[in-house]
Structure formats: structure tokens, C-alpha cells
Amino acid sequence: MFQLEHIDLGDVTLRVRHGGTGTPVVLLHGHPRTHTTWHAVANRLGGEFFVVTPDLRGYGRSTLPPDRPDHGQSSKRAMAGDVVRLMNVLGHDRFAVVGHDRGALVAFRTAMDHPDAVTRLVVMDGLPMVEHLERTDATFASAWWHWWFLGQTEKPAERVICADPDAWYRTPGPAELGEESHADLWRALRDPAVVHGMCEDYRAGLGIDRRHDEADRAAGRRVACPMMLLQSAHDDIDIHGDPVEIWRPWAARGVEHRLINSGHHQAEEAPEEVSAALRWFLSGN
């Protein structure tokens, strides 16, 4: 059902798996995953939707342009542009977008920057970058310390991670992820270019991505399409308080909310529950 391609978009080439029939939907992974994190969800949705699962630029087997001083090559705005160009290449100018973790930031930015293209938005365990950073306190810094570690440039995190990636990363095994997905993830995690790309994502998050959010808020821009938040029951996206209330000022049409009985990696831990929630929301209910 699904086809794997490397699609040249000009400044980047994205590895993407796509297939199925019906309304188009893009599924965007988070850190430190690749598109294969969606394999169980994509298989469940493929009978009703045209499902597109790319590696974000700098992740997996997708490329990354040369670094810029402001890390703009890894901004969520740049990644959102990739999503729109990719879907245009695949023949779709309107589509739904679903994002988890860092992919949630990209999905949000796609809806904000390209309101004519995005029909529905689903964020999974994510908040606007500016909302996290403005609420930073000792609790958040202690629990989410990796944001600041990965974002360093004076003493780059890549040197520590690449010295022993097997010690740095902890992932489920092949029985939980599937043989192919597990092997794909670990090829990426052991690739210094991918480690650098992931760090650049976090560097962009602490700077240019925040500025983009601030500009949107100052201008009164909000997500125009219907929006849903999928929240893990056993994760800490509520570290700043009720995430629905934090999202509400950003959503012109309100925020649907579903609690998923899983830890952080919802698509891997609860694919049936995630698929059912997506099917319900993406079908227009």
C-alpha cells in the first residue's frame, strides 16, 4: 500500500512514505524519531486516507541545508514550507496535518503560515514554543533540561552524543517498534549528521521559532482550521498547567481534546487509540 521515495524539494530532499486512498493527511514525527514511528497508525488509516509520513529535514534520511547563524535552516517555518511543497509535489494543495512532539511545532507552524492549505490540525503533546519558554521555571528546566543541552553552541551537544549514541538514547526494542522501524531509528541515531540536524532543531526552537510565535501573537494571528490536542495520560505536557487552556487563545475555532492512555510516544504505545481519535476528527466530526 505504501511507497517509499526521496523527493527533491530544492534546498532539501525528504525521505517520505506515502500511500492509501482518500483525504490527504500528513503525519509528522518528533525527536528523536523518523517517519517510521507512525507505521502502526499509518497502516490503520491507509484504507480511508492518503497518508504521507516524511522524515523532517535533518532527521532520518532527509537532508539539511547548510547552517545559518540564526539556525533558520532548521526553523519550524522552514519545515512547514517543506510540508507544503511536498504535498504539492504529491498533487495536493489542501490537507490535514498531524504532529507529535517537535512535529507538533511543525504542524502548528504549517497551519499558521499556510492557512489556505491546512484543513485540520492535530497536535500531540506539544505547545507553541513561546508558551513553554515564557513559563520556564526550575521545575520545567529540571524536567526538560535536554532542550538547553541540545541547544548549546559554545559546547555543542553533538560531541557528547556522538561519542556514545547507544548510551545516550534509550528506545523500545524491535518487538515494540517493529524490526524495520527499530533498525531505521538506530541507523539515524548513530549518524553524526542526523544528531547535528536534531540539535539544530532545538537551537532554532530557542531563538527564531520563538520570535515567529511572538510575531504571530502580537499580530493576533490564530489557527484558522479546526484543531485537536491529543494528550498522553502518562506524560508531562501539563507541566505548565492545562494544555487546552494554553492552546485556546491560539485557536480561532476552539480546541477538541482527547486523552490517550499512553506515555509520550503515543503512536507507538497506543496506535489503535490514536488511529481512532484521528479517524473521528479527520472525518469531520
Tens-level pLDDT at each residue, the chain (285 residues): 799 999 999 999 999 999 999 999 999 999 999 999 999 999 999 999 999 999 999 999 999 999 999 999 999 999 999 999 999 999 999 999 999 999 999 999 999 999 999 999 999 999 999 999 999 999 999 999 999 999 999 889 999 999 999 999 999 999 888 898 999 999 999 999 999 999 999 999 999 999 999 999 999 999 999 999 999 999 999 999 999 999 999 999 999 999 999 999 999 999 999 999 999 999 986
Residue 62, Cβ density class (10 Å: 0-12 exposed, 13-18 middle, ≥19 buried): buried
Catalytic: which of 31, 182, 257, 264? Answer: 264
d(CA 23, CA 107): 17
Q: Which residues are paired to 97 by β-bridges?
A: 26, 121
In SS3 terms, 96-146 reads as EEEEECHHHHHHHHHHHHCCCCEEEEEEECCCCHHHHHHCCCHHHHHHCCH
Specify the pLDDT at position 285. Answer: 61
Closest to 106 in 3D by CA, of 79, 133, 81: 79
Cβ atoms of 91 and 30 within 8 Å: the answer is no
Catalytic: which of 29, 35, 55, 101? Answer: 101
Specify the pLDDT at position 284. Answer: 82
For the chain, report the end-to-end CA distance as a whole number of angstroms. 26
Residue 154 cell numbers, joined: 559554545
Closest to 42 in 3D by CA, of 223, 186, 178: 178
Query: 26-37 burial, b if ≥16 CB within 10 A, otherwise e?
Result: bbbbbbbbbbbb
Domain boundaries, the chain: 2-282
pTM summary value: 0.98
d(CA 100, CA 216): 21
Q: Is 101 a catalytic residue?
A: yes
Cβ atoms of 71 and 204 within 8 Å: the answer is yes
Closest to 278 in 3D by CA, of 262, 269, 267: 267
Q: Provide the CATH number for the domain formed by 2-282 in this structure.
A: 3.40.50.1820
Specify the pLDDT at position 66. Answer: 97
